Amino acid sequence: MRPIIALTGDSMVAPSPVINLNYADMAPNMIKNAIVKVGGAPLILPYPEDDAVSETLAQQYVAVFDGLVLPGGPDVDPTFYHEEPIQAMGRATYQKDQFEIALIKATLEAKKPIFAICRGIQILNVALGGTLYQDLPSQNPKATIRHSQAAPGQWPTHHVAITPGSHLASLMGTSSYVNSRHHQAVKAVAPDLQVTAQAPDGVVEAVESKDSDLILGVQWHPENMWSSFPDQLPLFSDIVKRVGGEADE
């Protein structure tokens, strides 16, 4: 039986409040396709509009799935790491952030693995006590690489150096050529996480658990690349293996 790999959902944002009454919850097709490709069964988890039920829903959802993928998406509300929003920050969704933080904590409490992508690595870091650059270009003068690429999203544009001996290195080696589509990034790393990949300008590109194999997060978008760059597919095989399943290679 295929292990169930959950993905947190997002919502379509429309200018009309009438349209917003009928939005559909969604998740990236390319992540769903990658999970199916490696032998998993994807399941989309919508976030509640009523943030008062976030923790209850998170606990119920955790009982259903085997592993969790946190996809990319909007900016993370900085009030969750005790900052006010700066002018350069983009759209954030408070209810989504609150739900995902509750879900991350419930998943780790249940000893189930997490794979985080782009925004996913950011909300993961915040959930565990870390902080973010709300906007790299304006807040980090050392971030000299273009992290929000102009090239089509499926093509790599910069390299990352991966820490030898890390779990990520066992999947990809000590270097990878990746795509880049973000303006926020990990700033202060959460106490339970360790950095295992960086861009040439020092921006954090991957984190892992310090004391277990429960967490792996990357700042790039392997779901956009794996069909043309097969070295990215092991990131999805890995979440299936970490839940005890047999991944299709």
* Residues assigned a catalytic role: 118, 221, 223
- Give the CA distances from residue 126 to residues 78, 89, 107, 232, in Å, rounded to whole numbers and listed in that order: 9, 16, 15, 25
CA 124 from centre of chain: 7
The half-sphere exposure of 54 on its side-chain side, counting CA atoms within 13 A, is 18
Dmax (CA) of the chain: 52
Q: Residue 176: is it exposed, middle or buried by C-beta count within 10 angstroms (0-12/13-18/19+)? A: buried
50 C-beta neighbours (distance < 10 Å), count = 8
